[in-house]
Amino acid sequence: MTPTITAFERSPDRGRGLARDMRVRWALEEVGLPYKVRLVSFKAMKEPAHLALHPFGQIPTFEEGDLALFESGAIVFHIAERHAGLLPDEANARARAISWMFAALNTVEPPILERQTAVLLERDETWREQRLPMVEDRIRDRLGELSGRLGDADWLDGAFSAGDLMMVHVLLRLSGSGILDEYPNLSAYVARGEARPAYKRAFAAQLAVFTGKSPT
């Protein structure tokens, strides 16, 4: 059965691939699973039909037969568990790859989201100029640790996995901030993720929603 995911009808990032449907699209492309996309407006996301799928009125969601899921991490994990290509077969390596998925979402993404809030929503606050450098230093703490762990490896733990997919997408949210550039091995890691054919297909598909042109 072809799964259906939801994505923004008009993404605030103007097709830069930062919305979280991109992670799900990327995972689906990595495992070679065709999918459909239902676009939702901000208004529709808060209406009962969508709230029945997503209790917080957000995207992405994932529907496959009588299964409906929300939370990008849970969706990518579901895809990775049921299809080859995103999790190693060996049990311990698989568990470690899953740890990296959680690390991306629970340890690295929170300070990055805090910065986003500071930049976008706290623009007019008098204390913003004092808060932003502190938030950015908290990101640097995490990136320094991550950079040390990655070293000169291509991926976080052996072959590319759902852990890398999630981490690369989380780090992409720093695009344009200049912070990622302070860690050349992390910049190169993100570039490796973006160079994957599956990433490119997913990116083109979400960009096409914004431009209205079909992906080439």
Nearest CA-CA partner of 57 in 48, 49, 46: 46
Among 54-62, 133-141, 145-153, 181-189, the segment contacting ligand GSH (CB under 6 A): 54-62
Q: How far is the CB of 111 from ligand GSH (least distance, A)?
A: 15
Structure tokens at 215: 């992906």
Query: HEC profile for the chain?
Result: CCCEEEEECCCCCCCCCCCCHHHHHHHHHHHCCCCEEEEECHHHHCCHHHHCCCCCCCCCEEEECCEEEECHHHHHHHHHHHCCCCCCCCHHHHHHHHHHHHHHHHHHHHHHHHHHHHHHHCCCCCCHHHHHHHHHHHHHHHHHHHHHHHCCCCCCCCCCCHHHHHHHHHHHCCCCCCCHHHCHHHHHHHHHHHCCHHHHHHHHHHHHHHHCCCCC
Chain residues 127-166 in contact with ligand GSH, contact rule CB under 6 A = none
Give 59 or 87: the residue with its C-beta nearer to ligand GSH.
59
Q: Does 53 bind ligand GSH (CB under 6 A)?
A: no
Binding footprint of ligand GSH, residue count (CB under 6 A): 9
Q: Does 209 bind ligand GSH (CB under 6 A)?
A: no
Q: Does 206 bind ligand GSH (CB under 6 A)?
A: no
Q: How far is the CB of 158 from ligand GSH (least distance, A)?
A: 25
Q: Does 6 bind ligand GSH (CB under 6 A)?
A: no
Q: How many CB atoms lie within 10 A of CB 197?
A: 9
Distance CA 195, CA 203 (A): 11
Q: How far is the CB of 46 from ligand GSH (least distance, A)?
A: 7
Give 46 or 140: the residue with its C-beta nearer to ligand GSH.
46
Q: Does 19 bind ligand GSH (CB under 6 A)?
A: yes
Q: How far is the CB of 123 from ligand GSH (least distance, A)?
A: 18
Chain residues 55-94 in contact with ligand GSH, contact rule CB under 6 A = 57-59, 71-73
Q: How far is the CB of 59 from ligand GSH (least distance, A)?
A: 4
Q: How far is the CB of 185 from ligand GSH (least distance, A)?
A: 26
Q: Which residues bind ligand GSH (CB under 6 A)?
A: 19-20, 45, 57-59, 71-73
